[in-house]
Structures are given as structure tokens and as C-alpha cells.
Amino acid sequence: MAKEELLAYIRRSRAQGYAPSQISAALAKAGYSSSQIEQAIADALRPPVAARPQKIGYFRRLKLALFSPRQLFEHAKTEGIKRAFGFLVVTLLFFILIYGGLLLLAGSVLSAMLSLFLPFDISLISFSVLGIALAAVFLGFVVFSFVGAAVLHPFVKLFRGTGKYSATYAAIAYSTAPLLFLFLLPVVGIWQFIVLIFGLSITHGIPKARAFFALLLEGLFIGALAFFASMALVPLDASLSSLGDSAQALLGETGGTGADAGDAECVFDDARGDWCIPEEADRCFRTQIECKAALKNPS
């Protein structure tokens, strides 16, 4: 009996309920030595070694995120949040280096052209604005990835998603790759949405239809929040407008031009150091407010 056949015989015998001692006795009768029997039983009953998951580098992940999301999420669904966050950070840095460099080059050319007509150099201003904008993009995506996952996760659970928060975060983090690298294409938004559906479906073990409706319900929830927030701001806007009208009316009463009193107005008399009414030379006041009040209420 060959070794593989011997191991298969031992495993089959154990599956049928035979004890190792019974198997050893049967093999001894078949002519096997005690050392061969012990080694064969040990090899046959040894638990299989779990295969280590294959590591995927960044560029391989990027390619899968852009073109084969199913394969990516099958691999990433058990990895946790660390690798997904690292992928997002590296992707954002690549985006900033590539497109930031292009914008910097374009800004340098534009600054050189404008410097021919302007008395000052605007390059420092443009570079500062670009740096602030790119930093805002980086921080915005990082914050949105965590907040967006926190908002989306309850809706995925509502549709019986089985994954943890890290699974929802991974779906959002990896779905940003199409948006950042293919944003010039008109269908990039649709493809990002499809990648996100794949991610939620695979990492949470739910059908794609449930993942779609979870995203749809989240969108309706955010839209409702935005609507009610805008409605809550309407009274505040009306109050500010009313306050502005009141302030304008008050200024008209205390600091107007004096049009209500004809063509009379208050003029500062340098000789006297007072505010006077030219039409009434004998009427002067220490302050302009007192002079305006006299115009409004002549005695």
C-alpha cells in the first residue's frame, strides 16, 4: 500500500469510527512495522495547516479596485480597517502629487504671464492657495471615509449585513480609487457606485440588491437631513434680514443725510470745532449726532 493510500485508509477508518489502536492492529496484520504505523497515523490525523492569505501590494490593489472589485473585496473582507485606511492614504498622496504637480506647473506658467502686467508677484499667493486646497482635499477624504462609513453602516445592518464597521469602511475606502484616478471620465460616478455595491455585498455577505437599497436609503436620509436643516435656517435668515432692516432704520434716524429736513445738513466748522447747520449759523453742536437730531426735530 502506497503512503498516500495508507493515509487515506487511516482517515477513512477514523471517519468510520475505528479507534487508532484498532487501525494499528489492522495495519500490523498487513505487515507494517510499528514505526511505520505510528508515523502514518500521526501524519493522517495531523490537522491541516491553514494557508496564509496571500499578500497583495498597493499597485495590485489599485488595479483590482479600478477594474476587478469583486476579487479585491473577496481578499479584503477579512483584513480589517488598517489596510483599507493605508490604501486610502497612499491613493490620496498619489492624487495630490500627480494633479497637484500639474496644477503647480499650470500656476507657474500663469503667474509668469500675469507678472508681466501686475506690479507684484502672485506666485506665492497661488502656491499658498493650492497647498491649502490640496490639504483640504486630503483631510476631507480622510474624515469623510470614517464619517461616511459610520452613517452607512446602520443601513447595511438594517438589510442584514453580517460584517463589522471595518467592512463598511473598506468598501468606502477602496471605492475612492475610481473617483480619484478616473474622475475625468464622465461615468466615474456610476463606476464608483458599482464598486461600492460590490464592496458592501461581498464584505457583508448580502445580495447586491440589498447593498443598493442600503445606499439608496442612506442617500434619502442625508437628503432629508439637508432639507430640514435648510428649513430650520429660513427663520434665522428672516431674523437676520429683519435685524438688518432695523439697523438701517436706526442709522437713518441718527446718522442720515438730513434729507427729511429739506436740503439742510450738518457741516463741521473748523473755527468753532463744532458741528453746525449752515442755514442756521447760530446753531452748533458738539457732536454730529446732536446736530442730526436737531435737523430731525427742529425747535
- 212 vs 274: CA distance, rounded Å: 76
d(CA 213, CA 234): 32
Q: Report how far residue 134's alpha carbon sits from residue 144's, in angstroms, rounded to the nearest whole number.
A: 15
C-alpha span between 148 and 77 (Å, rounded): 18
For 122, half-sphere exposure in the C-beta direction (CA atoms, 13 angstrom radius) is 17
Distance CA 258, CA 275 (A): 13
| pLDDT tens sequence across 64-88 | 988 889 999 988 888 889 999 999 9
Query: How many residues in total does the chain contain?
Result: 299
Given phi > 0 = left and psi -120 to 50 = alpha, else beta, which region is 268?
beta
CA 292 → CA 19, 23, 266, 281, distances in Å?
113, 117, 7, 15
- 156-182 pLDDT, tens per residue? 999 999 999 999 999 999 998 888 877
pLDDT digit string (tens) for 22-39? 888 888 888 888 888 888
Higher pLDDT, 209 or 249: 209
Q: pLDDT-based confidence at 151, cuts 50/70/90?
A: very high
Q: Which residues have a Cβ under 8 Å from the Cβ of 297 and sit 6 or more positions away?
A: none
| pLDDT tens sequence across 99-147 | 888 877 776 766 666 666 655 555 556 677 778 888 998 999 999 999 9
Find out whether 273 and 244 touch, Cβ atoms under 8 Å: no
For residue 261, the 8-state DSSP code is: G
H or E segment to which residue 274 belongs:
strand 274-277
pLDDT at 256: 45
User: Which is more confidently placed, 85 or 290?
Assistant: 85
Which residues are CB-neighbours of 284 under 8 A, at least 6 positions away? 269, 272, 274, 275, 276, 277, 291
Query: What phi and psi, each to the nearest 5 degrees, are found at residue 162?
Result: -100, -10
CA separation for the pair 104, 194 (Å, rounded):
33
pLDDT in tens, 212-253: 999 999 999 999 999 998 888 777 666 666 665 555 555 555
pLDDT of residue 41: 83
pLDDT at 80: 83
Residue 53 in this model has a pLDDT that exceeds 50: yes
What share of the chain has pLDDT > 90, as a percent? Answer: 30
pLDDT in tens, 254-268: 444 444 444 568 888
- The pTM assigned to this predicted structure is 0.60
Phi, psi torsion values for 277, nearest 5 degrees: -100, 110
Q: Which residue would you say has higher pLDDT here, 282 or 195?
A: 195
Amino acid 111 reads S
